[in-house]
Amino acid sequence: MPLEFELCPGRMIGGNHPCFIIAEIGQNHQGDIEIAKKMIKMAKDCGSDCAKFQKSELDHKFNKKALERPYNSVHSWGKTYGDHKRHLEFSHEQYKELQKYADEVDIFFTASGMDEMAVEFLHELNVPFFKVASADNSNFPYLKKTAKKGRPMVVSSGMQNMETMRQVYKTVKEHNPNFTILQCTSAYPLEAEDVNLRVLTEYQKEFPDIPIGYSGHESGIVISVAAVAMGAKVVERHVTLDKTWKGNDHEASVVPSELAELVRSIRLVERALGNGVKQMLPCEKPCHDKLGKSLVAKVKIPKGTVLTQDMLAVKVAEPMGIPAENIFKMVGKKVKIPKGTVLTQDMLAVKVAEPMGIDAEDIFKMVGKKVKKDVEEDESILPEVVEGYCKKRKC
């Protein structure tokens, strides 16, 4: 059983706990705090566990030239990348307001700290856990500092290979046992061929003592649901109010109806995953009673016969006999008279018996009568065992 830990106050993840679903609002709020609040409410209404943002201290995340680089994309909110990012970045005060709002709405609130200074701020803000965005999974000084703060961590693994992820695991583990690694491919939107859900299985082998999860950027919800079937204990998806809005992530996001369906589907799949113990369940009884196969005699089998396989057939039988799967165990066994058998003369013998059974002189009267309980070979046939047999001459 992979490790489980408390990711948010009162909310465990891993093991058999429900998958933790993160609605990644990211920068899909268009730089508008009212839209951001609407999205927090929407995340809650759709059943997600957490509303997440992206917090950067832009002068720490980017160098000067990177902020000055022209950003000519249709998704740009400014002439330079710096202008674009400044438009989308909420201030500390706005973060406090959003956190308060999330608290009122009753949904966990956090953000990825996109640089060390942002992590400092989020630590002061007392977020329940730190999200490490893919761009920081190779930022080892950041990982070490963040891990040392002692809050649980969700570490994404986009743009990375296994060797570096092993290093990430070791680095975080050294300072903090409570973290999860998410399989992620950083492309927007992500094609199915590039999702690589099997990495989840590899992660679980490589890192058996932490829960694993999935951060998806594909269109639709099916792949994220499949990730849960493959063992993801955390699922993160970008959310939007409109996929056609300006912004790099909207197309790879889910709209409210999809988010609600994603949550429902994940909860359904969780119910369906079960405990892995293969057994016939009580709910299968009606089907088994109607169509379950059992052993029937292919030929007349007199009492005392040693069974061979060619005497037996497998059928839907009324009443149901010995379960079909026991056919090979039956071979070599001697036949007794089972309950309900109509007696024939060759099933009966006359002996000095203990206890004394039906009088020997009644042997012919027995033929054609049914036995009410199983009679073993050589067992006395008592009057009460034979249906309609009356010991007294008068009946």
Asked whether position 56 contacts ligand PEP by CB under 6 A, the answer is no
- 233 sits near ligand PEP (criterion: CB under 6 A): no
| 8 Å CB contact between 260 and 46 | yes
Residue ranges in 213-232 that form contacts with ligand PEP under rule CB under 6 A: 215
Q: Is 28 in the site for ligand PEP (CB under 6 A)?
A: no
Q: Are 328 and 348 in contact (CB under 8 A)?
A: no
Site for ligand PEP in 254-313 (CB under 6 A): none
In a 3-state reduction of DSSP, which class is residue 284? Answer: helix
Asked if 58 is part of the footprint of ligand LRY (rule: CB under 6 A), the reply reads no
| Piece of 31-39, 178-186, 189-197, 287-295 that binds ligand PEP (CB under 6 A) | 178-186
Interaction of residue 248 with ligand LRY, rule CB under 6 A: yes
Residue 188 binds: one of ligand PEP, ligand LRY, none (C-beta under 5 to 8 A by kind): ligand LRY
Question: Nearest Cα to 221, choosing from 186, 272, 255?
Answer: 255
Burial of 295 (0-12, 13-18, 19+ CB in 10 A): buried
Instruction: Identify which of 45, 29, 26 has the alpha carbon closest to the alpha carbon of residue 37.
Output: 29
Is the N-terminal amide bond of 355 cis, ω within 30° of 0?
yes
**What is the per-residue binding string for ligand LRY in 60-89, x denoting contact by CB under 6 A?**
---------------x--------------
When asked if residue 43 is in the footprint of ligand PEP (CB under 6 A), the reply is no
CA distance 104 to 308: 74
Task: Kindly report the backbone phi and psi dihedral angles of residue 334, in degrees, each rounded to the nearest multiple of 5, phi listed first.
Answer: -90, 145
Residue 133 interacting with ligand PEP (CB under 6 A): yes
Output 218 or 236, the one with its CB closest to ligand PEP.
Answer: 236
Which of 121, 140, 188, 245 contacts ligand LRY by CB under 6 A?
A: 188
The stretch among 128-136, 175-183, 345-353, 366-374 that binds ligand LRY (CB under 6 A) is: 128-136
Please give the helix or strand (H or E) that residue 95 lies within, else none: helix 92-105
CA 313 to centroid of chain Cα atoms = 40
**Which residue from 25, 119, 133, 337 is in contact with ligand LRY, where contact means CB under 6 A?**
133
135 binds ligand LRY (CB under 6 A): yes
Q: β-strands 153-156, 179-184: how paired?
A: parallel
245 near ligand LRY, rule: CB under 6 A: no
Q: What angle do CA 65, 69, 72 make, to 5 degrees?
A: 175
Q: Which is nearer to ligand PEP, 56 or 178 (CB)?
A: 56
Identify the CA nearest to 263 among candidates 45, 29, 37: 45
Residue 134 binds ligand LRY, judged by CB under 6 A: yes
26 touching ligand LRY, by CB under 6 A? yes
Per CB under 6 A, 243 contacts ligand LRY:
no
**Between the CA of residue 119 and those of 126, 185, 248, what are the distances in Å?**
10, 23, 24
Q: What are the residues binding ligand PEP (CB under 6 A)?
A: 54, 112, 131, 133-134, 156, 158, 182, 184, 186, 215, 236
Q: What are the residues binding ligand LRY (CB under 6 A)?
A: 26-27, 54, 75, 133-135, 186, 188, 248-249
